[in-house]
Structure 1
Amino acid sequence: MSINEERIRGLIEAWAEAVHRGELAAVVADHAEDIVMFDVPGEVRGIETYRKAWPPFFEWQAQGALFEIETLEVTAGDDVAFAHALLRCGMPEDVARHRLRLTLGLRKKDGRWVVAHEHHSFPLADHSAGEQEG
């Protein structure tokens, strides 16, 4: 694993731990000012809108939800990188059924890695692999 991949892995793991603890400053710390996030509830553009998107999630999560990385793959060059992960995100009785999918695009800015794009999604629970709606 390259040093860039190790650093990005550490950044993402620290981010996930901060999300789980509900620590907003740490959640937004390594994100670009022009962050674009496609989230389960909608689209977010800019760091201030990204910051405002988290408190409702933290309130829900405080009711006992999990937010834990299950798998994480990182691919990094010198200036850009991407990562994809599966996370346990939900109440303990629900996380066995499906996982949160996370994709991140990162770039190096002033010598440090920042998240420029973040995408969260859940698979459709009512469809088997390979099925499509008619």
Structure 2
Amino acid sequence: MTNEQEVRTLIENWVTAVHAGDLDTVLADHAPDIVMFDVPPPYDGVRGLDAYRDTWPGFFEWQRSGASFALESLEVTAGEDVAFAYALLLCGTPDEHKANPALRLRLTIGLHKAAGRWQVTHEHHSFPLDTPEPA
């Protein structure tokens, strides 16, 4: 498998684990010093695997209410020991999708390969800010 394929598989498995609420698999390929910028605060991000782990229970609870988390597109660029990827995901409740069918979660991931293993070192989630166009 190429580095690009390895990273693609890692991210696809992560998305599947998030959708399933499988915390152990969500955490499995993240570096101990992960930095994540997420949609909800804190605005200066989450640092470290323990803090990253703590962000997931609330999301899984919200997701059990019927929300989706599904990969729509994924682009990966991978070198020998550094890679990045960006993706669009369908993330929201049926009512949110009905109100705004075009809304997608944006995901950017940075990875590092050490000792033959890829690990996520940076993760960024965002939604576009809907503001009226300037007049």
Q: Which TM-score applies when normalising by structure 1?
A: 0.91
| Separation of aligned partners in 2, 1:88 and 1:3 | 27
Percent of aligned pairs with the same amino acid: 61
Look up the equivalent residue of 2:69 and give its one-letter code: F
Q: Deviations over 1:92-129 (max 9, x none)?
A: 232323100000000002210000000000001234xx
Q: How many residues align?
A: 129
- Asked if 1:65 is matched to 2:64, the reply is no
| Separation of aligned partners in 1, 2:109 and 2:3 | 14
Could you tell me which runs of 5 or more consecutive residues in structure 1 were left unpaired when the two chains were aligned: none
User: Alignment partner for residue 102 of structure 1, among 102, 107, 120?
Assistant: 107
Between 1:91-100 and 1:55-64, the stretch displaced more is 91-100
| Separation of aligned partners in 2, 1:125 and 1:64 | 23
Q: Tell me the residue number matched to 1:119.
A: 124
C-alpha displacement of 1:85? 0.2
| Separation of aligned partners in 2, 1:55 and 1:109 | 29
State whether residues 89 and 99 of structure 1, in contact with CA within 8 Å, keep that contact through their aligned partners in structure 2: yes
| Separation of aligned partners in 1, 2:17 and 2:114 | 22
| Separation of aligned partners in 2, 1:98 and 1:73 | 19
Could you tell me which runs of 5 or more consecutive residues in structure 2 were left unpaired when the two chains were aligned: none
What is the RMSD of the two structures over their aligned residues, measured on CA atoms?
1.5
SS in 1 for 2:128: coil
Q: Which TM-score applies when normalising by structure 2?
A: 0.91
| Separation of aligned partners in 2, 1:34 and 1:15 | 18
- Asked if 1:44 is matched to 2:46, the reply is yes
| Separation of aligned partners in 1, 2:114 and 2:13 | 19
C-alpha displacement of 1:20? 0.3
Moved beyond 6 Å, runs of 4+: none
Look up the equivalent residue of 1:33 and give its one-letter code: P
